Structure 1
Amino acid sequence: NYLYTVEAFMDFWQHLSDGGKLGITRWLKFPPREIVRLCSISLEALSRIGIEKPENHLAIIRSWGTSTLILSKKEIREEEIRAIKDFCDERNFDTVYFPGIKEGEANINHVLEESYYYQEIDQLVNSFKE
């Protein structure tokens, strides 16, 4: 299926306006896999396009049943991070990833035994930084 490939995400990126954002929502599965795969595809696509810090163009939030990846054409700024946090607080979502997130900022509203989704995404993002 072309929809969730690196090549498709490169195409999506090319169609975003300068300030555009793409949001993709998927059902949560445990152990974490679909959102981790989308994050990996996004990071790889942006790396291939030549984006120096692809991790700064991503944010991920989750509820009990779904997770949403946000891919931003511009680096996600502090005021956008604040808006994401406010959205999550007001609507009972959890942050999973945004540039600079700490583990204590994840797994707050829909508490799991551990912050599994944060941990998987953090490990993936750090592997792309190396």
Structure 2
Amino acid sequence: MPYTVEVTKTFNYPYIDVYKSLYLSVEAMKGKILVHDPDNQRFEAQMDKKLYGKYLGDRSRLEISFDTESEEQTALLITAYPVNPIGQKLMFGARKGVIPRVLEALQTEMESRLEKE
């Protein structure tokens, strides 16, 4: 069973606003930022096995690239998968529903930050 999830999320905001929102959202979710490269439109983070104090069971890694479709529209190309405590990709034994829950929380967090701007 493949645990890797690949999704595209589109936001109707400029690239820099979406990038800032992503950065602040990952920090708010207590994620560890691994790659912070806005010039090359790359971002990677590792999320803890707890989300807002609730135990999910697995850590998650997010690899994100950006596609600026226009000046006012930005797409996030997200590859997400569960990892073990030392950051290696899990090939078996991952819990169901962890990655979708993390991605849903990330999108909600980002949308709330973008709407405030």
TM-score of the superposed pair, with normalisation by structure 1: 0.31
Q: Which has the higher helix share?
A: 1
Q: Name which structure has the greater RCO, CA cutoff 8 Å, separation 6+.
A: 2
Q: Structure 1 or 2: larger strand share?
A: 2
TM-score under structure 2 length normalisation: 0.33
